Amino acid sequence: MELEKGMVAYVSGAGSGIGRGISMSLARRGLKVGVCDIREADAVETVQVIQAEGGTAMAVCVDVSDRASVEAAADAIETAYGAVAVACNNAGIAMHGVPLHEIAAKDWDWVIGVNIYGVIHGIQSFVPRMLEGGKPAHMVNTASIGGFQVNPDFLTGAYSMTKYAVVALSEALQNELAGTQVGVSVLAPAAVDTKIHLSERSRPERMGGAYVRRQNHFVGELIKGGTQPVEIGERVAGAIQAGDFYIFTHPETKMWLDRRHAAIDAAFAKARMSDIAEAE
């Protein structure tokens, strides 16, 4: 899909990190961007950066784990700028450093609420509008390289579980929208220099409120100096225009997927051998 000046975009988690990078890249192409984040001050800061470059953007306070909040954001952006042509369900939080059986119930609610329901709410709020509009449109869902494999070193099981779900949701959505003018992409980055390790600052009150989750903070050191968010934003903008479904940003991580696929292939080979043995 061609990104044309005057088109309208929704980007969640846009107050910092990858969301800010995507917002800036779209704004530089002339799109009017609804910069959405649960931290309104951060969203305003992104808008100021965009406006300083001559772009057009508005800040919207959104809790993506709340369906009504996403729907209200869609209404607000549409009222201000017109129909949304590009929707980026990007908001996500970290949940690292703790074994699955030790994660608190409120943290399970939170990571599922943001990382999975945030995408579901984006799909349900924007896809019907896009289809009804009858014009070229595109949805980008931010997963992670963790949505294709579980790293054994960092206790990322809860996070990876949610990102696997984002991959599945995106693949299903691509299948369902085949033959329409609505395209789909799934973004799977690795180490990007963001503030995801500080996610706990943004936990809603109904899920326990803001707190300090030091188990996440080692991630900050791992990603420090990594790929810059605006580079990811440029990759996303290019993928939308090229119609790419999978958006991988760190080629060196392919070995992790190869390792997983080799284990799967070995298991299928074992299944075939069992079938042969039973036939004999």
* Catalytically annotated residues: 159
Spatial contact of 191 and 251, defined as CB atoms under 8 Å apart: no
CA–CA dist 77, 238 (Å, integer): 23
CA–CA dist 37, 207 (Å, integer): 17
| Share of the chain residues as helix, strand and coil, in percent rounded to the nearest 5 | 55, 15, 30
Give one word for 194, left, alpha or beta, with left for phi > 0 and alpha for psi -120 to 50.
Answer: beta
CA–CA dist 167, 171 (Å, integer): 6
* Exposed / middle / buried, residue 52 (Cβ in 10 Å: 0-12, 13-18, 19+): exposed
Measuring CA to CA, which residue among 113, 127, 133, 126 is closest to residue 71? 126
How many other C-beta atoms are found inside a 10 Å radius of the C-beta of residue 152?
9
Give one word for 75, left, alpha or beta, with left for phi > 0 and alpha for psi -120 to 50.
Answer: alpha
